[in-house]
Amino acid sequence: MSDADIGMVPVEPDDILDEVATEDVDPGEGFPEDE
Amino acid sequence: MYLPKFQPQLNRGTPVPGRTTGSRDCGPRTWQMGVDFLTKGELVPTIRDLRDRANVEGPQPTSILDAQRAVESYVNIRGRRPLRYAPKSSVADVRTAVRAGRFVQCAIDYGKWNALLARTGDPDYGDGHSIGVLGFRMEEQPQWLTWDPLCDGRRDGIPRGPVWVFAWKVIDALEAFTPGAGIQAGVFYGGQLRERR
C-alpha cells in the first residue's frame, strides 16, 4: 500500500487560457542573466 | 546556474488523517522550489504561506490554477520582478520552457510514472502528482531534470533529490494525468533580476 496520497487535481481544460506564449516572455525574465 | 533547494514531502507539511508522511503537499512543495529558483534562494515560502495565498487549506490537493494564484501573489519583492506563473496545456510550450531553462510544474499520473521508471519516489502510488522540471541535457535522447517531492528517502533504494529522466517519459506521464484532454503544467517566470551593487 502506498503511503502517498492524491496531491494534484486537474482543472477544466477550458480554464487554462495559455495567455502567455513562453517565447513571447521578456528574455530577461525568469533567467539567471548573470551566469 | 542557480538550482533551488530540493523540497521533500516526507514527514513535513500538512498532516493527513490516517497517514504518517505529511502528504498532499506535492503541489506546494513544487511551488516552493519554483519560487526559490525565481528568487535565487532569497524567498522560500512556507507551505502554510503558499496554501494561504492559494486559498487552499491543507491537506487538500491543489491544481495549477491554485499554483498561479499563490505564485503571482508575490508581487513586491525588493529588487526583483513580480513572480509570474503561466498555466500551459500544450506539450510544445512545456518543451520550449524546459529548453529555455525555466522551472516548470508538471501535473503527472504517478501510475504511469511508475510504469515508465524503474525506481520512483513511491512505487505503490498511482494518482495525480506534482513534480518540477528544471534542467535539460542531451544524452542520445533529450533528458529533463525532474524534482519529485516524493523522492524523499521514504524507503530504501529510491532516489533522493532531483533525477534525470528521458523527456518522453515525463511527457507520457503528463498526458496520462488528463487523458485525451491535453496536459496541465505551469511555467514559472518573472522574479530574478541581476543583482547590481
Categorize the per-residue pLDDT at B72 as very low, low, confident or very high, splitting at 50, 70 and 90: very high
- Assess A2–B contact: CB distance below 8 Å, yes or no: yes
Task: Give me the mean pLDDT over the B62-75 stretch.
Answer: 96
Min Cα separation B141/chain A (Å): 23
Q: Is the ipTM of this complex over 0.90?
A: no
Domains and CATH numbers, chain B: 26-190 (3.90.70.10)
At position B45, the amino acid (one-letter code) is: P
Task: Give me the mean pLDDT over the B144-160 stretch.
Answer: 86
Task: Give me the mean pLDDT over the B147-163 stretch.
Answer: 86
User: What is the percent of chain B with per-residue pLDDT over 70, rounded to a whole number?
Assistant: 91
Give the pLDDT confidence score for residue B191 in this predicted structure: 87
More confident residue, B168 or A23: B168
- Please state the φ and ψ torsions of residue B45, each to the nearest 5 degrees: -65, 155
> Which chain A residue has its CA at the smallest distance from B174's CA?
A10
Query: B79 pLDDT exceeds 90?
Result: no
Task: Give me the mean pLDDT over the B10-22 stretch.
Answer: 62
Give the pLDDT confidence score for residue A22 in this predicted structure: 53
**Max CA separation in chain A (angstroms):** 47
Distance CA(B167)–CA(B67), nearest Å, equals 23
Q: What is the tens place of the pLDDT at every residue in B45-65?
A: 999 999 999 999 988 999 999
Best of B68, B77, B88 to substitute, by most chain A Cβ atoms within 10 angstroms, is B88
Q: What is the tens place of the pLDDT at every residue in A1-35?
A: 676 678 899 998 888 876 665 554 444 444 444 33
- Assess A24–B contact: CB distance below 8 Å, yes or no: no
Distance CA(B34)–CA(B183), nearest Å, equals 19
Interface of B with A in 115-144 (CB under 8 A): 121-122, 124-130
B21-25, B72-76, B117-121, B155-159: segment of lowest average pLDDT: B21-25
Does the distance separating the beta carbons of B178 and A10 come in below 8 Å?
yes
Q: What is the tens place of the pLDDT at every residue in B92-116?
A: 999 999 999 999 999 999 999 999 9
C-alpha separations of B166 from B33, B39, B171 in Å: 21, 28, 9
Give the pLDDT confidence score for residue B168 in this predicted structure: 97
Contacts of A1 in chain B (CB under 8 A): 124
Categorize the per-residue pLDDT at B91 as very low, low, confident or very high, splitting at 50, 70 and 90: very high
Give the pLDDT confidence score for residue B115 in this predicted structure: 97
Task: Give me the mean pLDDT over the B145-169 stretch.
Answer: 89
Does the distance separating the beta carbons of A7 and B129 come in below 8 Å?
yes
Task: Give me the mean pLDDT over the B30-34 stretch.
Answer: 97
Contacts of B107 in chain A (CB under 8 A): 8, 10
Give the pLDDT confidence score for residue A14 in this predicted structure: 84
Q: Which of B154, B184, B193 sits opposite A11 (nearest CB)?
A: B184
Does the distance separating the beta carbons of B64 and A11 come in below 8 Å?
yes
Q: Taking the CA of residue B75 as centre, how many other CA atoms within 13 Å lie in the half-sphere pointing to its CB?
A: 3
Does the distance separating the beta carbons of A16 and B127 come in below 8 Å?
no
Does the distance separating the beta carbons of B189 and A7 come in below 8 Å?
no
CA-wise closest residue to A22 among B68, B86, B174 = B86
Q: Which of B20, B65, B187 sits opposite A22 (nearest CB)?
A: B187
Give the pLDDT confidence score for residue B24 in this predicted structure: 86
**pTM, to two decimals:** 0.89
